[in-house]
Amino acid sequence: YTSELKEYEEKIIYSEQNIIEIENKIFEDLKNYILKFVHKIQYNAQLLAKVDVICSHAKVAKDYNYTKPIFEEGIILELKQSRHPVVEQLIPIDQEFIPNDLYMRQKKKQIAVITGPNMAGKSTFLRQVGHIIILAQMGSFVPSKYCKLSLVDQLFTRVGASDNIAEGESTFLVEMNEAAYILNNATEKSFIILDEIGRGTATFDGLSLAW
């Protein structure tokens, strides 16, 4: 062999290790450089995030005919021609989402019972009310022709029928535990959605839980 070949061989053998060392040094230098401006970067990132959220809400409101919610003291929820923000975008183009009204007040009408056959839209209606409450309170316009509401401190849901057999909890027990949690933690300003409460057991047991 020649000395030139031997030197070239060593370069090839150690090249991967050298590459890793160089990359690590560049990465460390970059991190140290960024750290000098981390407060400015985070401040700008927060501003951009706010602009992004506001612009997204504005575009959705304009494109899909949302309206500005009205907040009122007390406990009230009044919706006229409200729609589900997701379902109305997913239905076939030849079909139209049928809007719904809702009127609730603390002293006059605390509870609304929604009944109807399968696939009539009961769960969709319940969920769209929850969506509208959240959207309104996060500063967005809402998918409704008219919306008046008061502040909601918590939104509770009891949806579906699932069990936890591994922990010895039947469907009905899971349902009772979740209902008990809601009752123990809800305040007068909470909004509660119960979708088919009592479905995990016999008729009269389910009715007792619903009552």
Per-residue pLDDT of 112-150, as tens digits, reads 888 888 888 888 999 999 999 999 999 999 999 999 999
Q: Do 64 and 51 meet the contact criterion of CB atoms below 8 Å apart? A: no
pLDDT at 201 over 80: no
pLDDT band at 9 (very low <50, low <70, confident <90, very high): confident
Q: Please give the Cα distance from 123 to 160 (Å, whole number).
A: 10
Burial of 69 per CB tally in 10 Å (0-12, 13-18, 19+): buried
Tally DSSP H helices, then E strands, for the chain: 6, 6
Q: Percent helix, strand and coil across the chain, each rounded to 5?
A: 50, 15, 35
Exposed e or buried b per residue across 157-187, where buried means at least 16 C-beta atoms within 10 angstroms of its C-beta: ebeeeeeeeeeeeebbebbbebbeebeeeee
Over the Cα atoms of the chain, what is R_g?
28
- Written as six digits, the tokens of 136 are 């309104």
